[in-house]
Amino acid sequence: MSDPAPDTLQLTGTGRLRNFIGIDGLPRAILEEILDTAASFVDVGDRAIKKVPLLRGKTVINLFFEASTRTRTTFELAAKRLSADVLNMDIARSSTSKGESLMDMLRNLEAMSADMFIVRHGDSGAAHYIARHATPDVAIINAGDGRHAHPTQAMLDMYTIRHYKGRFEGLKVAIIGDILHSRVARSQIHALNILGAEEVRVVAPKTLLPVDIESLGVTVCTDLNQGLRDADVVIALRLQKERMDSALLPSESEFFRLYGLTNDRLRAAHPDAIVMHPGPINRGVEIASEVADGERSVILHQVTFGIAVRMAVMSMCMSGRETERDDSLTPERPHATTR
């Protein structure tokens, strides 16, 4: 597969990462650099002093307009392990709740010499909008926007797959559950296709599948056994009840009966298949406890790897921007003169 066209919002003129808004449009080399950089950070959490100085003196602001515990916490830990100063904005009590516009709030935060915004928002495209309108001195990382994208979650999933499988070529990956509402699934699909997975399957009832999902380069399965057959990686998705019309699903128990992961159903997958879940888990809805806590599960490892992956993305965005800034300040060499 050829690399996509350059994404100028996310990449510098020399092809380095400047923002991380989504995976679609990024070249394979950038995704592999994120994975390789994350590998160098994995053991930081095992040290007596869990810090490296790469973002010392930098200010990172978490702008979470949507509730999150796992994502916000891992971003905060990642920033602190890079030695950054971290500010968590309480959006519910911020000036936006008093009528201040989003752009006015951003301008005030920029005036405080912020270096990076981590943005989570319920509206698709919010991170892209902020990246287009923020000052060029501030890096923007998308921590999830509406149904659109969750790129760092997808990359920590890619890290987990590469850690356990060692490759992407030849792998069959089954993504099961609420595809319709899942920004994680979209980002996973883009990443898997860019990194060269053999087949990406989406497995769900028709009511939980987007109408144009085939255009993303996936195999669509409405039968769980068919979707699991010989799969090397099985990813269960949470039913996003907060985004869901009740008419889309008869009941949670009915969903589990037809699509819930159990040990019996996993027999259709490859014998050494791994089981993943982006969390939070609804036990007995999309996955049985015997699977979530079983020997095939790598769910807790995903959380651990997530800190390293977010450290990688943050350090790469900051490095790319500083290189771009330095290049713009470098004076032109004088033309040689002849005598």
Residue extents of the structural domains in the chain: 28-150+304-329, 151-301
Find out whether 103 and 131 touch, Cβ atoms under 8 Å. Answer: no
pLDDT classification of 327: cutoffs 50, 70, 90? low
Q: If 0-12 CB within 10 Å is exposed, 13-18 middle and 19+ buried, where does residue 122 land?
A: middle
Determine the pLDDT at residue 241. 65
Q: What is the CATH number of domain 28-150+304-329?
A: 3.40.50.1370
Q: In 10 A of CB 29, how many CB atoms? A: 11
DSSP E strands: which ranges in 54-137?
59-64, 85-88, 116-121
Q: What angle do CA 245, 246, 252 make, to 5 degrees?
A: 125
pLDDT classification of 337: cutoffs 50, 70, 90? very low
Which H or E run includes 143? Answer: strand 139-145
Find out whether 208 and 177 touch, Cβ atoms under 8 Å. Answer: yes
pLDDT(90) > 90: no
Which residues, 6 or more positions from 241, have their beta carbon under 8 angstroms from its beta carbon? none
pLDDT classification of 336: cutoffs 50, 70, 90? very low
pLDDT(250) > 90: no
Determine the pLDDT at residue 67. 82
C-alpha to C-alpha distance for 152 and 142, rounded to whole angstroms: 8
CB neighbour burial string for 253-284, b if at least 16 within 10 angstroms, e if fewer: eebbeebbbeeebbebbbeebbbbbbbebbee
Report the candidate in 80, 126, 85 with the shortest Cα–Cα distance to residue 106. 126
Q: In 10 A of CB 27, how many CB atoms? A: 17
Binding region for carbamoyl phosphate: 70-71, 120, 150, 153, 279-280
Query: Can you tell me the mean pLDDT for 287-304?
Result: 96
Q: What is the CATH number of domain 151-301?
A: 3.40.50.1370
pLDDT(252) > 90: no
Q: Is there a shared CATH topology between the 28-150+304-329 domain and the 151-301 domain?
A: yes
Report the candidate in 269, 180, 280 with the shortest Cα–Cα distance to residue 225. 269
**124-182 pLDDT tens trace:** 999 999 999 998 889 999 999 999 999 999 999 999 999 999 999 999 999 999 999 99
Q: If 0-12 CB within 10 Å is exposed, 13-18 middle and 19+ buried, where does residue 300 land?
A: exposed
User: Percent of the chain scored above 90 by pLDDT?
Assistant: 73
Binding region: 70-71, 98, 120, 150, 153, 183, 238, 279-280
Query: Can you tell me the mean pLDDT for 241-249?
Result: 58
Binding region for L-aspartate: 98, 183, 238
Q: Which range, of 32-36, 103-107, 136-140, averages the lowest pLDDT?
A: 103-107
Q: How many residues does the chain have?
A: 339
C-alpha to C-alpha distance for 109 and 61, rounded to whole angstroms: 9
**201-242 pLDDT tens trace:** 999 999 999 999 999 999 999 999 999 999 999 999 998 765
Report the candidate in 122, 129, 114, 108 with the shortest Cα–Cα distance to residue 21. 129
